């Protein structure tokens, strides 16, 4: 179970000016075993919400309470130490997540999954971006979490590898659930039960059924498409 | 399937373990001469100071202590505090990438760095004393337990200062130069390389505000049975500094945690 309580987030520019609220009073409780799809237009804070839930970033107000093991956003490559080898980074993460005694099992999984071979013993800073994202994917899936955080926008990789990651991921979903940001409706419909629609400057709407959420979201997109640009500006 | 949420102490413990392994690896393999200089710096210092002293024709002995061993202890003790502060200054910046994982807090980086420092400096001190023993200098402590407790007290003082400095340097980066500049004068007024016993009381009065001087003199007092320490050193004063710096340092870390994590 994850409780998200009255979450507010905004960013600050270098001259200490604040931007508008990126997240404005986001409030929901995700029950155990339910997968959530987060939908909304570009720039409404979907990735930000995921970062806050994963604890990578901190809210300005409100809090996130995790009653279970939550992953960091899958495929994020920012947490690597460039001067260390892939294997050293891997061991480090395994120790942090309490796998100090099963190091070998984690190493085997990542070796097998990422197909990096000897490159695993080279410093991460020598990796291509494709190799980095493979390693990042492999590491995210190497540990058992109750809730995985998946962000389509930040996770990159070539198509074949993505398909492989997808497959492993779906096998996991038997025991674990996911909070997912994606623009692909098919994937959302397939993997998620509940939906959260984030809207700019308005309170987000929770849907118990992701299908309802997608329908409502699509309607709103169509509506704004039908309104001529000039008129919309006048209304604003 | 995972066995639910781990208790906080367990998370902290695995973070410390992971950071420690990483730190040791970085220190020993990171730069090739790292190990050499850890030993090389104090040895070079000792050789230079001893030759200067014999060149000046002073006696090698200090009341109740062998000069070389006296110097060794002072230097290792001082280097431990100095390195704790200097490495603490960069601890947060060099672990920045890791704060992407919510389990790791800036204060963990500080703790682990200074624990590593304690381990390495202890090894260095033991090697130095061993070398001295091999050259027929009596370098065995008269009160090992007392030496050990003072050694740990000095480490805690270094940790407390490092906690404070690490936050201050992140908030006001220019302070970094000031801290580095202060280290040499601090070496001189802490009674590391020449004894302060003969200084007039009016000067000593001010020098005794420096807690490192207290720590080093007390350390030597436990090492040599008949040693005459500088008048006015007290364990209570040293520990007052330790407790205050630790409390202030931890408070600063608690208050500015988010600011420290931000890139």
Query: Residue B79 falls within a domain, yes or no?
Result: yes
Give the up-direction half-sphere exposure of residue B114: CA atoms within 13 A in the CB hemisphere. 28
Q: What is the set of domains in chain A, with CATH numbers?
A: 1-69+146-161+174-236 (3.40.50.300), 76-143 (no CATH)
According to DSSP, the β-strands at A70-73 and A147-151 are parallel
Q: Is B221 helix (H, G, I), strand (E, B) or coil?
A: helix
Whether the CB of B104 is below 8 Å from some CB of chain A: the reply is yes
Closest C-alpha among A74, A51, A77, A75 to residue A64: A51
**Cβ–Cβ under 8 Å, residues B242 and B159:** no
Q: Are strands A23-30 and B65-66 parallel, antiparallel or unpaired?
A: unpaired
Q: Tell me, what DSSP letter sits at residue B4? A: S
Q: Which of B5, B21, B97 sits opposite A79 (nearest CB)?
A: B97
How does DSSP assign B27-72, residue by residue?
A: HHHSSTTHHHHHHHHHHHHHHHHHHHHHHTT--SEETTEEHHHHHH
User: Is residue B220 in a domain?
Assistant: yes
**Of B99, B240, B100, B106, whose CA–CA distance to B163 is shortest?**
B106
Is B24 contained in some domain?
yes
pLDDT tens for B26-70 read 777 766 676 777 778 888 888 888 788 777 766 556 777 788 888
Q: Is residue B89 part of a domain?
A: yes
- Chain B hits for A66, CB-CB cut-off 8 Å, are 5
Residue A33 burial class via C-beta count within 10 angstroms: exposed 0-12, middle 13-18, buried 19 and up: middle
Round to whole Å and give the CA distance between B166 and B93.
9
Sort out which chain A residues have CB atoms less than 8 A from B1's CB and list them.
144, 175
Residues of chain B with pLDDT below 70 are 1-4, 30-32, 34, 57-61, 263
Residue of B nearest to A80 (CA): B97
Alpha carbons B200 and B191: distance in angstroms, whole number:
14
Domain assignment present for B1 = no
Q: How far apart are CA A115 and CA A92, in angstroms?
A: 20
Q: Does A80 touch chain B (CB under 8 A)?
A: yes
pLDDT more than 90, % of chain B:
41
DSSP of A72-127, one letter per residue?
A: EETT--TT--TTSBHHHHHHHHHHHTT-GGGHHHHHHHHHHHH--GGGGGSBGGGS
User: Which DSSP letter does residue A44 get?
Assistant: S
Strands (E), chain B: 61-62, 65-66
Q: What angle do CA B62, B64, B70 make, to 5 degrees?
A: 55
Distance in Å, alpha carbon of B120 to nearest chain A alpha carbon: 21
A84/B22 touch (CB, cutoff 8 Å), yes or no: yes
Number of domains present in the structure of chain B: 1
Closest partner residue to B97 (CB to CB) among A80, A145, A146 is: A80
Q: Is residue B90 included in any domain, yes or no?
A: yes
Sheet bearing A23-30, strands edge to edge: A23-30, A2-9, A61-66
In a domain, B102, yes or no: yes
Query: Nearest Cα to B260, choosing from A58, A153, A186?
Result: A58
**Quick one: pLDDT at residue A157?**
62
Structure-token match 């085997």, residue found: A108
pLDDT, position B58: 64
The answer to whether A68 contacts B258, with C-beta atoms less than 8 Å apart, is: no
Report the gap between the CA of A60 and the closest CA in chain B (Å): 10
Question: Which pTM value belongs to this model?
Answer: 0.84
Distance of CA B253 to the CA centre of its chain: 20
Whether chain B has a CB inside 8 Å of the CB on A148: the answer is no
By residue range, what is the domain housing residue B221?
A: 8-261
Write the ipTM: 0.80
pLDDT at position B240: 96
The answer to the question of residue B2 being in a domain is no
Count CB pairs under 8 A between chains A and B: 69
Between CA B38 and CA B42 the distance in angstroms is 8
Q: Which of A67, A83, A91 sits opposite B5 (nearest CB)?
A: A67
Per-residue pLDDT 10s for chain A (236 aa) are 898 888 888 887 777 777 778 888 888 999 988 999 999 888 888 888 998 998 888 888 899 999 888 988 887 777 788 888 889 889 999 999 888 888 899 999 999 888 888 888 998 889 888 888 888 888 888 888 899 888 875 556 667 777 777 787 778 877 888 898 888 888 888 888 999 999 887 888 899 999 999 999 988 888 877 766 555 555 54
In this prediction, residue A41 carries a pLDDT of 87
Find out whether A64 and A2 touch, Cβ atoms under 8 Å. yes
């Amino acid at each position: 179970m994850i409780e998200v309580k009255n979450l507010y987030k905004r960013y600050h520019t270098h001259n200490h000016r604040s931007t508008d609220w990126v997240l404005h009073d986001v409030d929901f409780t995700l029950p155990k075993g339910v997968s959530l799809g987060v939908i909304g237009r570009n720039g409404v804070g979907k990735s930000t919400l995921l970062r806050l839930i994963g604890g990578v970033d901190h809210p300005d107000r409100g809090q996130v309470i995790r009653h279970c093991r939550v992953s960091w956003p899958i495929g994020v490559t920012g947490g690597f130490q460039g001067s260390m080898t892939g294997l050293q980074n891997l061991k480090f993460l395994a120790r942090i997540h309490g796998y100090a005694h099963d190091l070998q099992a984690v190493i085997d999984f990542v070796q097998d999954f990422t197909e990096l071979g000897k490159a695993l013993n080279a410093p991460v800073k020598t990796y291509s971006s494709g190799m980095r994202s493979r390693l990042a994917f492999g590491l995210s899936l190497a540990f058992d979490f109750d809730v995985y955080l998946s962000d389509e926008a930040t996770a990159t990789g070539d198509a074949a590898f993505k398909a492989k990651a997808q497959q492993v991921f779906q096998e996991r979903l038997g025991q674990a659930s996911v909070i997912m940001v994606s623009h692909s409706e098919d994937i959302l419909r397939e993997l998620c039960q509940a939906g959260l629609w984030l809207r700019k400057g308005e309170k987000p709407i929770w849907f118990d059924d992701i299908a309802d959420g997608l329908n409502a979201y699509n309607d709103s997109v169509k509506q704004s498409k039908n309104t001529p640009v000039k008129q919309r500006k006048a209304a604003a | 399937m995972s066995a639910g949420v781990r208790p906080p102490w367990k998370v902290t413990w695995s973070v410390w373990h992971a950071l420690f392994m990483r730190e040791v690896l970085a220190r020993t393999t990171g730069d090739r001469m790292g190990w050499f200089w850890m030993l090389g710096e104090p040895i070079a210092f000792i050789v230079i100071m001893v030759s200067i002293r014999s060149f000046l024709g002073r006696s090698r002995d200090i009341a109740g202590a062998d000069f070389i061993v006296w110097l060794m202890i002072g230097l290792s003790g001082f280097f431990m505090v100095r390195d704790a502060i200097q490495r603490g200054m960069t601890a947060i910046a060099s672990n920045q990438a890791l704060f992407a994982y919510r389990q790791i807090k800036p204060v963990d980086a500080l703790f682990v760095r200074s624990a590593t420092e304690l381990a390495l400096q202890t090894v260095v001190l033991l090697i130095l004393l061993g070398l001295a023993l091999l050259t027929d200098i009596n370098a065995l402590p008269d009160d090992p337990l007392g030496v050990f407790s003072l050694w740990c007290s000095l480490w805690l003082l270094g940790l407390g200062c490092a906690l404070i400095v690490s936050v201050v340097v992140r908030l006001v980066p220019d302070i970094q130069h000031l801290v580095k500049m202060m280290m040499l004068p601090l070496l001189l007024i802490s009674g590391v390389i020449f004894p302060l016993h003969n200084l007039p009381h009016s000067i000593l009065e001010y020098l005794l505000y420096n807690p490192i001087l207290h720590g080093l003199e007390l350390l030597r007092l436990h090492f040599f049975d008949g040693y005459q320490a500088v008048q006015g050193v007290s364990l209570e004063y040293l520990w007052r500094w330790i407790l205050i710096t630790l409390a202030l340092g931890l408070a600063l870390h608690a208050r500015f945690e988010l600011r420290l994590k931000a890139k």
